[in-house]
Chains A and B, each alone.
Chain A
Amino acid sequence: MLLKKAMRKILNSCKKTTELIDIKAMTSLSFKNRVQLYLHKTMCKTCSAYEHQSKLIDSSVMRWIETKTKPNTESSQKRKKKILEDISKS
């Protein structure tokens, strides 16, 4: 029990670890955090899996935004057509 407590202090909770995983994707972590993250992941499958999921969520959001804003696609042509129709009506 005491060992477990000590380990948690060193290796962080899963909650803290997921936070570090997401922050690592945006900026660089301190050396201490990098070591903690590495050790935690070797011992915790769910957090390792979260790192993969977090990356997949990145690609998902990216994909979603691309389909929304990509210029010169069908939707862009449709938008242009609609605007032009409205102008000629006014």
Chain B
Amino acid sequence: MKTDPTNSKISVENWVNDYSDALFQWAFYKTSSKETAEDLVQDTFLAAYKKIDSFKGNSQPKTWLFSILNNKIIDYYRLRAKTSKKTVSLTEHQGRELSNGFFNEAGDWKDTAINPIWNEDQELLDNPKFNTVMQSCMDDLPLKWKHAVTSKYLTDKNAKAICQDLSISVSNYWQIIHRAKLVLKKCLETNWV
């Protein structure tokens, strides 16, 4: 089926308006990175525009776009696995050590003092600097932990579905969330001045 180039441009433009938010949310959920998600969605629409002739119209445009995006996500992870790990996030081992670091051998707090940053809840959340600090703290988390945390809050998926996604057991998932929270606590207490 040959489509008129002007027509195909118009339909892709409409799709950008209708579906880019949903595509972005999915890409963000899959990669936990705003920048990567934006790039992937951008690539998806470019690819869609270039091969619009192969869109037969017997599936929904949304479905078609999501299948392109999913392929882009797979490519992204393949490439990342090949190129050396440039990320400076903690390893899971380091994350475990950091979260254990709060406690002595008996399991008591090493430092029982309560950091005052937690007393001013609303000020903490409303501070414009907050998102920058939060961003770097999230980036510090081991990738799997970050993924678990993002999944927990971003989707209405239940724990079981998230665990299947990450191929971990439910009790392992609870452990990861718990440890990630301790690491975030540490990071916020250190970087919040």
Q: A64-B134, A64-B138, A90-B49 are in contact. Are A69 and B24 (CB under 8 A)?
A: yes
Is residue B103 contacting chain A, with contact meaning CB distance below 8 A?
A: yes
Q: Which residue of chain A has the shortest Cβ distance to B111 in the bound complex?
A: A46
Q: State whether B107 touches A56 (Cβ < 8 A).
A: no
In angstroms, Cα B183 to Cα A47, docked, is 16
Q: Mark B78-121, 1 if CB is under 8 A from A, else 0.
A: 00000000000000000000001011001111001110001001
Q: State whether A13 touches B106 (Cβ < 8 A).
A: yes
Q: Which of B138, B150, B178 touches A22 (beta carbons < 8 Å)?
A: B178
Q: Which residue of chain B has the shortest Cβ distance to A63 in the bound complex?
A: B125
In angstroms, Cα B44 to Cα A80, docked, is 12
Q: Which of A15, A54, A62 touches B153 (beta carbons < 8 Å)?
A: A62
Q: Which of B28, B106, B125 touches A59 (beta carbons < 8 Å)?
A: B125
CB neighbors of B among A27-56 (8 A): 27, 45-47, 49-50, 52-54, 56
CB distance from A46 to the nearest CB of B (A): 5
Q: Interface size (B, Cβ < 8 Å)? A: 53
Q: State whether B103 touches A60 (Cβ < 8 A).
A: no
Give the secondary structure class of A's interface.
helix
In the bound complex, residues from chain B placing their C-beta under 8 Å from that of A87 are 9, 12-13, 16, 45-46, 49
Q: Which of A14, A26, A63 touches B159 (beta carbons < 8 Å)?
A: A26
CB distance from B187 to the nearest CB of A (A): 10
In the bound complex, residues from chain B placing their C-beta under 8 Å from that of A8 are 106
Q: State whether B103 touches A79 (Cβ < 8 A).
A: no
CB distance from A14 to the nearest CB of B (A): 5
In the bound complex, residues from chain A placing their C-beta under 8 Å from that of B178 are 18-19, 22-23
Provide 5 A-B residue pairs closer than 8 Å at the C-beta atoms, listed in order of the A residue: A64-B135, A68-B34, A79-B38, A79-B41, A80-B16
B residues adjacent to A (C-beta < 8 A): 9, 12-13, 16-17, 20-22, 24-25, 28, 34, 38, 41-42, 45-46, 49-50, 100, 102-103, 106-109, 112-114, 118, 121, 124-125, 130-131, 134-135, 138, 149-150, 152-154, 159, 174-175, 177-178, 181-182, 184-185, 188
| Known A61-B134, A80-B16; 13 more pairs at CB < 8 Å | A15-B100, A19-B175, A49-B114, A56-B121, A56-B124, A58-B153, A68-B28, A72-B21, A79-B24, A83-B41, A84-B13, A87-B16, A90-B46
Across the A-B interface, give the 6 residue pairs with the lowest CB-CB distance, nearest first: A13-B107, A71-B21, A15-B107, A22-B178, A15-B103, A49-B114
